[in-house]
Amino acid sequence: MTENTKESKSSTENEKSDENSSSGTVTQQLVDLGSSVTKTPHGTIHCLTIVGQIEGHMLANQGAKTTKYEHVMPLLTALEQNDDIAGVLFLLNTVGGDVEAGLGIAELIAGMRKPTVSLVLGGSHSIGVPLAVAAKASYAVPSAAMTIHPVRMSGTVIAAPQTYNYFDRLQERIVEFVVKNSHISKKKFLELMLKTGEMAADVGSVLYGQEAVSVGLIDHVGGLSDALDDLYDQIDQKKAEKEHEQK
């Protein structure tokens, strides 16, 4: 006795299934990593958000909005190796956080060959400053705020000369990175970092959109469309260079 073979899904049903699967993947990316992938005439753009507190070796307080370095680091590595991704847009609104984790992420961004653009929205404080300048082009909206202050550490600290030496060396690493990846001078950056009288009961400076550009910390004042246009230009230029090499 034979059994009739079940009818396969129609092509329309398969397409709907693929669309639902793709939509589900994008939604899951937004939930898990705060990232999205969009196809454009210039190429596929990956948008990654770095928000809240940069969470490093220690878990942040319960209820705090965080960006986890163990998620971002392998994602950046995968993006750099993915030929389908033409460029990466970083949206920043961070209060800072773990210095080592934030600097590690910034170094990965700076080391990418792919076109990259950062856009500061709201704020990019403390270790968020290196993250903002790490991309090949940096933008800040007019209302964006960037807080620059000396390295500090919470929790138990061993009161020894070596501890203060460690602070100095860690701070020097941050200063050198920012100076290398922006147009601000070391003298000016240290001046802003150690400024007194601007922040209540604290040392440092707060720069807003145009101020950050004026001192050379950020490249341009602009919004989302400006940042995307820059990213498209980088992608088109990279394509043209590749075509020229192949000739």
* Residue at 21 is within a domain: no
Instruction: Categorize the per-residue pLDDT at 108 as very low, low, confident or very high, splitting at 50, 70 and 90.
Output: very high
* Residue at 94 is within a domain: yes
* Residue at 4 is within a domain: no
pLDDT of residue 18: 47
pLDDT of residue 104: 94
Percent residues over pLDDT 90 in the chain? 59
CATH code at 87?
A: 3.90.226.10
Instruction: Categorize the per-residue pLDDT at 238 as very low, low, confident or very high, splitting at 50, 70 and 90.
Output: very high
Give yes or no for residue 81 having a pLDDT over 50: yes
Tell me, yes or no, if 149 is annotated catalytic.
yes
Instruction: Catalytic residue, from 42, 149, 182, 205: name it.
Output: 149
pLDDT of residue 197: 78
Handedness of CA 237, 239, 240, 245 (dihedral sign): positive
Mean pLDDT of all residues belonging to the chain: 85
Bridge partners for 205 per DSSP: 148
Give yes or no for residue 182 having a pLDDT over 80: yes
Instruction: Catalytic residue, from 126, 138, 182, 205: name it.
Output: 126
pLDDT of residue 45: 96
SS3 85: strand
Helices and strands (DSSP H and E) totals, the chain: 8, 9
166 vs 200 pLDDT, higher one = 166
* Residue at 31 is within a domain: no
* Residue at 228 is within a domain: yes
CA geometry: angle 233, 238, 240, nearest 5 deg = 95
Mean pLDDT in residue range 14-41: 59
* Residue at 16 is within a domain: no
Mean pLDDT in residue range 78-101: 94
183 vs 53 pLDDT, higher one = 183
pLDDT of residue 33: 52
Instruction: Categorize the per-residue pLDDT at 162 as very low, low, confident or very high, splitting at 50, 70 and 90.
Output: confident
| Residue whose C-alpha is closest to residue 218's, from 181, 188, 187, 173 | 181
Total count of domains within the chain: 1
* Residue at 234 is within a domain: yes
Mean pLDDT in residue range 20-36: 53
Query: Rounded to whole angstroms, how far apart are CA atoms 77 and 84?
Result: 14
* Residue at 1 is within a domain: no
- Kindly report the three-state secondary structure assignment for every residue of 196-214: CCCCCCCCCEEEEHHHHHH
Give yes or no for residue 8 having a pLDDT over 50: no
CA geometry: angle 208, 209, 211, nearest 5 deg = 65
SS3 217: coil
Range of the domain at 57: 37-246
Query: Rounded to whole angstroms, how far apart are CA atoms 167 and 8?
Result: 66
What is the value of pTM for the model shown?
0.82
Angle between helices 69-81 and 99-110 (to 10 degrees): 10
Mean pLDDT in residue range 204-211: 94
Q: Encoding tokens for residue 105?
A: 């992420």
115 vs 160 pLDDT, higher one = 115
pLDDT of residue 166: 78
Q: Is 68 exposed, middle or buried (0-12, 13-18, 19+ CB in 10 A)?
A: middle
168 vs 188 pLDDT, higher one = 188
Percent residues over pLDDT 70 in the chain? 83
Give yes or no for residue 115 having a pLDDT over 60: yes
Instruction: Categorize the per-residue pLDDT at 170 as very low, low, confident or very high, splitting at 50, 70 and 90.
Output: confident
